[in-house]
Amino acid sequence: MMKRGHVTFLLVIALVWSLPTPAAAQAPPQPPPPPLWDVQVGGSFVGTNGNTDTSSGGADFSAHRRWPRWQIESAANAVRTSDNDRKTAERYLASARARRTLTAILSLSAGERIERDRFSGLDLRSVLDAGLGWALVRQPHWTLDGVTSLAWNHESRIIGPDIDHPVGLFQALSRIPFGASADTTQRFAYFPDFKESSAYRSEAEIAAQAAMTNQLALKLGYLWRYANAPVPGFKKTDNTTTASIVLRWKSTALAP
């Protein structure tokens, strides 16, 4: 005679087998394509007068233009602070990058980055790079892009001779949307120096932006920069925190 445990086990197996098979889980809907072009301009200002006389101002700009295989993106920002009419910080940065899609993951990438920050000892820094772009993650709740490039770094320093070094660029850029009206981006970049290995640099940046109206948004940002071999007499680390109101425009047409 079959044991009671065996009978129970067979009944459970038969019950599970008779249950209808659940439908396959539906893949989450893919986000719509980005607009054909978009532009945004941000600005901020804080000033005091009376017992103290200080001012702080900032501005930033970004733009994208998209074609079936090509994409061009550009950005610029400026930060300036003063205390009793004496400048205590001033930095200007502009960058541009062009991409040409080769596959769903791989693209050709070339960029130029220009920076002026005399409070870090730099009259001018120019980094020209060319290499590959990587679309590493494409999900509705997260995207991740990478850049691996060879580059040329030129620096005009306020102290000491100018330098021209071959360098590299390894960059990761992440974006996490929060609904349709807010998102956060995270960027990390590493610049190894192939002529002087101790002169490597790195940057980490995080920004969060939330829409207030169709054209107005609030943006918060934090930028950390590290130079292992800074201009003599200057510190290795710089930090910048910004808060600004942003004006946005975008095309009603979607990118192909």
Strand partners, 100: 70, 108
Q: Is residue 23 part of a domain?
A: no
Q: Is residue 13 part of a domain?
A: no
Q: Is residue 220 part of a domain?
A: yes
Token reading at 218:
């609030």
Q: Is residue 174 part of a domain?
A: yes
- The Cα–Cα gap between 99 and 173 comes to 15
Query: How many Cβ atoms are within 10 Å of 92's Cβ, its own excluded?
Result: 16
- Residues, the chain: 256
Cβ–Cβ < 8 Å for 114, 122? no
pLDDT confidence of residue 153: 98
Q: Is residue 237 part of a domain?
A: yes
Closest CA to 219 of 227, 231, 210: 210
Range of the domain at 133: 33-250
Q: Is residue 50 part of a domain?
A: yes
Instruction: Report the number of distinct structural domains present in the chain.
Output: 1
CATH of the domain at 62: 2.40.160.40
Q: Is residue 159 part of a domain?
A: yes
pLDDT confidence of residue 20: 53
Q: Is residue 242 part of a domain?
A: yes
- The Cα–Cα gap between 256 and 34 comes to 9
In the chain the beta strands, taken as DSSP E runs, fall at: 37-48, 54-66, 70-83, 86-101, 106-117, 122-139, 142-157, 163-178, 182-191, 201-211, 216-227, 237-250
Identify the segments of the chain with pLDDT beneath 70.
1-31
